[in-house]
Chains A and B, each alone.
Chain A
Amino acid sequence: MIILFSAILVENFVLNKFLGICAFLGVSKSIKPAMSMSAAVIIVMLVSTAITWPIQYYILVPLKIEFLQTMVFILIIAALVQMIEMVIRKISPALYKALGIYLPLITTNCAVLGATILNITADYSFAESMVNSLGAGIGFGLALFLFSGVRSRLEKTDVPDTLKGLPITLIAASLVAVSFGGFAGIIENLFK
């Protein structure tokens, strides 16, 4: 539980660890694509954790080739994304349409690779890794959801010319990140 909530709120991937910023800034323009994107990220994160964890401990460690970790993981994620895309297209064309272009983009989303590597470096057990990835995914979704709300308000405001587009978006993101800073002490006190 602690892992889940701290992954969602305190250690939020986007606002605290800066993983997945490209996707965060790119698809947060309105709420619907933001939601599809985060659904896709949660799925890919969970599946890739379920695969990379055993590979790390049952293949790479016994063979003493942990140094190939980066290379192996990124290829697994790339292959997985392709596979998930095909599976979803077959099983649920409606969902495929909704996720659409966001799926391939996940390969280069550092949040996924980051989550799998963090699970290894934090020495989590398999169950803990899965929970952490779920939390990371939900946290990503939460940040994306909140921020897309902020962005849609931002669209209507009159912003000075030089700040238009990216600069004002980043500054808004900074303010959203401040609000997440407020969660810092909560988790320890909730569960102890």
Chain B
Amino acid sequence: MSENMADKTYLSPEQRSEEKRKLNAPMRILLDGVLFENPALRLILGTCPLLAITISAKSSFFMGLAVIFVLVGSEFIISLLKNMIPPKVRIPAFITIIAAFVTIVEFVISAYLPALNDSLSIYIQLIVVNCVVLARAEAFASKRPAHFAALDGFSMGVGFMLALVLIGSIREIVGAGTIFDIGIPIFGKTIFGEVIEPIAFFTSSPGGFFVYGLLICLSQVVMRQIEKNRKHKTNALNQPITSGSGCSSCGACPMADLKAESGVK
């Protein structure tokens, strides 16, 4: 089934073989989203909300949930409709579908979590233009069967949420001395004659850039190590771990050369 639905116009040969390799491997899709192709730390997608709402672990968590829902829903629907959408207008069509799911999320949040609505405010609406969602719709959902697309949405969403919560926790712990609004006992105590104060820098906007930069750096070091280990074990498996299906296929992203420079795909 997948052969005739894959659109011939925007699929390179490597991508196609990559696809076959991955097509029937749900485990692989899951792992890719959470680890090897983590949208936030490996593909560097969706940076705007990532930096803006990671001031606290709690708001990061809920933002992550919202993104998971939008990703799963829109990828599923797009994948079902992929044969009906003419390739020329696919981007506006995708955006409309995504916007519908974002509106649902908006409703749910303002109905049940009004306090959260204030802290996340426009960033929920901005999920529409979040490149994670659009890139996955374009790179994955528009070519694969619906159940795999939903799974990919889930794993990408979880990966994104993990990164969000990670950054959010770091910024909240160091910047405000709490995590999920629970105080951490170290702060405010006296050690070596100095009172330890939370460093407000990390909750301010520059701190967001800073923590994110360091985390990307860290993830690159870890991935390099994993890649090295793999090569030592078997030579048969030495295909690059992150290939193809991510950002490079989404023409909308202007960051391509920057990513190439730092070895991120």
Within 8 A of B (CB), among A144-175: 162-171, 173-175
CB-based contact B95/A78 at 8 Å: yes
In this complex, which of A71, A110, A113, A178 has the most chain B Cβ atoms within 10 angstroms of its Cβ? A110
Q: How many residue pairs between the two chains, A and B, have CB atoms under 8 Å in the bound complex?
A: 148
Within 8 A of A (CB), among B235-265: 252-259, 261-264
The answer to the question of A108 belonging to the interface, with a C-beta cut-off of 8 Å to chain B, is yes
The answer to the question of A68 belonging to the interface, with a C-beta cut-off of 8 Å to chain B, is yes
The answer to the question of B25 belonging to the interface, with a C-beta cut-off of 8 Å to chain A, is no
Cβ contacts under 8 Å, A168 to chain B: 213
CB-based contact B209/A71 at 8 Å: no
Cβ contacts under 8 Å, B205 to chain A: 15-16, 18, 177, 181
B166 to A: closest C-beta gap in Å: 15
Query: Which of A43-51, A86-94, A114-122, A127-135 is found at the contact surface with chain B?
Result: A114-122
* Contact among A21, A74, A169 with B48 in the assembled complex (CB-CB below 8 Å): A21
The answer to the question of B129 belonging to the interface, with a C-beta cut-off of 8 Å to chain A, is yes
CB-based contact B121/A22 at 8 Å: no
**Which residues of B does A touch, CB under 8 Å?**
44, 47-49, 51-52, 91-92, 95-96, 99-100, 102-103, 106-107, 121-122, 125-126, 128-131, 134, 204-210, 212-214, 216-217, 220-221, 252-259, 261-264
- Ranked nearest first, the 8 interchain pairs of A and B with the lowest CB-CB distance are A165-B262, A26-B254, A170-B213, A174-B209, A177-B206, A18-B52, A167-B217, A71-B99
**Which residues of A does B touch, CB under 8 Å?**
15-23, 25-27, 29, 67-71, 74-75, 78, 102, 104-105, 107-110, 113-114, 117-118, 121, 162-171, 173-175, 177-178, 181
